[in-house]
Amino acid sequence: MEKRQELFVGKAKSVYATDDPDRLILHFRNDTSAFDGRRVESLERKGQVNNRFNAYIMGKLQEAGIPTHFESLLSDTECVVKNLEMIPVECVVRNIAAGSLVKTLGVEEGQALTPPTFQLFLKNDALHDPMINESLAETFGWATPDQLAEMKALTFRVNEVLKALFAEGGMLLVDYKLEFGLFHGQIVLGDEFSPDGCRLWDAETREKLDKDRFRQGLGNVIESYEEVGRRIGVDFG
Ligand code: C5P
């Protein structure tokens, strides 16, 4: 397979076309952004750590019967994925209150959420990814009711698989964001799953081991990502 032109430069990844219209190459860069891209830093090794982390998680999800766009690792910082038609809606599940939930609703950080919550956000940087709901998504044509139901069901299945995986490594899966797309009409998990897009706490000490270390200036960002990976069996090469 041949790598062709750069199609898109995101905040942390770049997307390339290939000679196969059904396949793309994702390049995980070292760039790390927070606060809607107002803070960007390059963190050494992040591209390779997230590339391998994501490959491992996508493999686990696929084994559990969840369709993902992941196909194969291509290099330290690149992987081959299916070319999805992305749905511009982010799905967030929360098991424990943190982040924007704490800010917008004034609830206490660390509170267990029973049952876990499910939220939709519009993927739109200029509008700061506003929270939306099924009605708005349907009316504005961002996703159909059937697609939304499937995305919700898959997002909760991911929760069961990954809560158990991280629990084995002594961690709590606090929350995470997923993005989906269509591949020949089928809803498929896209984007990435890495400590950039989820919250993970040590189960005993509740130490933050995810991107909040970057957002909150806690230091040892990539070291924590590697620690998370080691605890669940990711091979960083
Ligand atoms: O900021 P908030 O608390 O709503 O984030 C919930 C989860 O979704 C966090 O794990 C965060 O890292 C992730 N997220 C993301 N990309 C966004 C928004 C949220 O990865 N654009």
Atom in ligand 1 nearest the alpha carbon of residue 123? 21
Tens digits of per-residue pLDDT, 104-124? Answer: 999 999 999 999 999 999 999
By alpha-carbon position, which residue is closest to atom 19 of ligand 1? 177
pTM of the model: 0.98
Residue 237 lies in a domain: no
**What's the pLDDT at 142?**
98
Distance separating alpha carbons of residues 72 and 191, to the nearest angstrom: 14
Cα–ligand 1 centroid distance for 94 (angstroms):
10
Distance separating alpha carbons of residues 120 and 112, to the nearest angstrom: 20
Atom in ligand 1 nearest the alpha carbon of residue 212? 12
Cα–ligand 1 centroid distance for 123 (angstroms):
11
Distance separating alpha carbons of residues 186 and 65, to the nearest angstrom: 14
Residue 139 lies in a domain: yes
Q: Which of 65, 82, 99 is the last residue of a domain?
A: 82
Whether residues 128 and 45 share a domain: the answer is: no
So what's the ipTM on this one? 0.99
Q: Which of 52, 82, 112 is the last residue of a domain?
A: 82
Domain interval for residue 47:
3-82
Mean predicted confidence (pLDDT) in 135-147 = 98
Count of the separate structural domains present in the chain: 2
> What is the number of other CB atoms lying within 10 angstroms of the CB of residue 50?
27
Pocket residue to mutate for ligand 1, from 86, 92, 117, 172, most atoms within 8 A of Cβ: 92
By alpha-carbon position, which residue is closest to atom 20 of ligand 1? 197
Whether residues 115 and 212 share a domain: the answer is: yes
Whether residues 12 and 111 share a domain: the answer is: no
Residue 189 is part of a domain; what is its CATH number? 3.30.470.20
Residue 180 lies in a domain: yes
| Inter-residue contact 209 to 228 (CB < 8 Å) | yes
**What's the pLDDT at 31?**
98
Report residue 122 as tokens: 């519009």
Whether residues 25 and 99 share a domain: the answer is: no
Cα–ligand 1 centroid distance for 198 (angstroms):
6
Residue 227 lies in a domain: no
Whether residues 78 and 93 share a domain: the answer is: no
Residue 230 lies in a domain: no
Residue 132 lies in a domain: yes
Pocket residue to mutate for ligand 1, from 53, 117, 121, 177, most atoms within 8 A of Cβ: 177
Residue 198 backbone dihedrals phi, psi, to 5 degrees: -145, 170
Measured from CB, residues less than 6 Å from any atom of ligand 1 are 90, 92, 99-101, 129, 175-177, 197-199, 211
Residue 32 is part of a domain; what is its CATH number? 3.30.200.20
**What's the pLDDT at 91?**
99
Cα–ligand 1 centroid distance for 1 (angstroms):
33
Tens digits of per-residue pLDDT, 142-157? Answer: 999 999 999 999 999 9
Whether residues 105 and 123 share a domain: the answer is: yes
Q: Which of 20, 51, 82 is the last residue of a domain?
A: 82
Whether residues 66 and 134 share a domain: the answer is: no
Residue 232 lies in a domain: no
Cα–ligand 1 centroid distance for 21 (angstroms):
30
**What's the pLDDT at 104?**
97
Whether residues 188 and 106 share a domain: the answer is: yes
Whether residues 78 and 91 share a domain: the answer is: no
Cα–ligand 1 centroid distance for 20 (angstroms):
32
Residue 59 lies in a domain: yes
Cα–ligand 1 centroid distance for 176 (angstroms):
6
**What's the pLDDT at 237?**
82
Distance separating alpha carbons of residues 27 and 76, to the nearest angstrom: 9
What's the half-sphere exposure (Cβ side, CA atoms, 13 Å) at 85?
A: 9
Distance separating alpha carbons of residues 103 and 155, to the nearest angstrom: 23
Whether residues 106 and 169 share a domain: the answer is: yes
Whether residues 98 and 206 share a domain: the answer is: yes
Average pLDDT score over the chain:
98
Whether residues 147 and 195 share a domain: the answer is: yes
Residue 40 forms beta bridges with which residues? 33
